[in-house]
């Protein structure tokens, strides 16, 4: 699954266009490297999103098979890592 679709599907971002904009501006990284929106994610990847105040890290636990999931099921697909 593409990273922009993943961020939207698991409710990290509200819209896919927001995820795409964040990716284009180099805010989203995997393994410390800025990614393109077309980059496929896999289980075990750690996504870093550099917000203005601090970076947040998300470990992918599972790839959703649906376009969107319920907000209360988000914890099944990723977990936030505190650093």
CATH of the domain at 30: 3.10.290.10
Please give the pLDDT value at position 40.
95
Show the domain range for 28. Answer: 3-81
**CB burial class (10 A; 0-12, 13-18, 19+) of residue 46?**
middle
DSSP secondary structure of 3-27: HHHHHHHTTSSS-HHHHHHHHHTT-
- pLDDT, residue 15, reads 93
Q: Which CB contacts under 8 angstroms, 24+ apart, belong to 27-33?
A: 27/51, 28/3, 30/3
pLDDT at 68 over 90: no
Domain count, the chain: 1
- Residue 52: pLDDT band (50, 70, 90) is confident
The pTM is what?
Answer: 0.89
Q: Is the pLDDT of residue 3 over 80?
A: yes
């Amino acid at each position: 699954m593409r990273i922009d679709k993943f961020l939207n599907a698991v409710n990290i971002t509200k819209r896919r266009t927001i995820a795409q904009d964040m990716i284009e501006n180099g805010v989203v990284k995997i393994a410390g490297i800025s990614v393109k929106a077309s980059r496929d994610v896999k289980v075990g990847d750690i996504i870093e999103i550099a917000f203005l105040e601090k970076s947040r890290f998300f470990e992918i636990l599972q790839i959703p098979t649906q376009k969107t999931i319920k907000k209360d099921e988000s914890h099944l697909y990723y977990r936030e890592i505190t650093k």
